[in-house]
Amino acid sequence: MTTLAVLATLALLGYAAFYIIMCAISPWGICKRRRCTGGRIYSRIFTKTFRECPRCNGSGRRVRVGRRVYEYLRSEHKAGTR
């Protein structure tokens, strides 16, 4: 039982390390909002009408959650050490 717990913990730590490295290398992820294709949201009825996606501002890319957490913690640290 303890071997299984150790393996699960190591897998979780490995995934967290991989995600942190991905946030550092590539802070942008793909916008996963429903019906957002390349930053455009197409109408269901009129297929040729679209508007910009409000989540990604029409770019099709968004900032990863881990990068937002890192930026928040960095700004709090800077504000506290002034």
* DSSP code of residue 29: E
* Confidence band for 76, pLDDT divided at 50, 70 and 90: very high
**Cα dist. 45→9, 33, 35, 49, 50 in Å?**
48, 19, 13, 9, 11
Task: Answer yes or no: are the C-beta atoms of 41 and 53 closer than 8 Å.
Answer: yes
Task: Answer yes or no: are the C-beta atoms of 31 and 51 closer than 8 Å.
Answer: no
Boundaries of every domain in the chain: 2-80
Task: Answer yes or no: are the C-beta atoms of 71 and 52 closer than 8 Å.
Answer: no
Is pLDDT larger for residue 80 or for residue 47? 80
pTM score, whole prediction:
0.62
pLDDT of residue 29: 82
